[in-house]
Copies of this chain bind each other. A is one copy, B any other.
Amino acid sequence: MPSIDEMSESLKLLSDKTRLTIMALLRHKEMCVCDIVDILETTQPNISQHLKKLKSGGLVHETRRSQWIYYSLNVDDKPYVKQVVDQLPSMQAKIEALKSQGCH
């Protein structure tokens, strides 16, 4: 049974628009930092810092694969987070748009 403290911490991570959009993107597939930067049209340090918060809050998982670091969702152990993420709108259009000029 999650405590109010745990829940409010996770919800704070989800309450930022940029981070919530990152979660919506990762729902489709794992992505590297530069993919997310391109799609969200912001700076690389901005995204890196948001990802760091999501990671230390246990909401995403990272894997290095040569020079790229791929991030993926890690929400299966938090039902109240998973249910929110599952209801995020599709980002398919934005992902398609990226494909044509992918970051690598």
Q: Does any Cβ of B come within 8 Å of A45's Cβ?
A: no
* Chain B hits for A20, CB < 8 A: 4, 7-8, 11
**Among candidates B2, B4, B79, residue contacting A17 with C-beta atoms closer than 8 Å:** B4
Are B1 and A17 within 8 A (Cβ)? no
**Among candidates B3, B7, B16, B80, residue contacting A8 with C-beta atoms closer than 8 Å:** B16
* Chain B hits for A88, CB < 8 A: 4, 7
Q: Does any Cβ of B come within 8 Å of A51's Cβ?
A: no
Known contacts A83-B80, A87-B79; is-contact A8 B1 (Cβ 8 Å): no
* Chain B hits for A8, CB < 8 A: 14-17, 20
Q: Does any Cβ of B come within 8 Å of A98's Cβ?
A: no
7 A–B pairs (Cβ distance < 8 Å), ordered by A: A4-B24, A4-B88, A7-B84, A7-B87, A8-B16, A11-B20, A14-B15
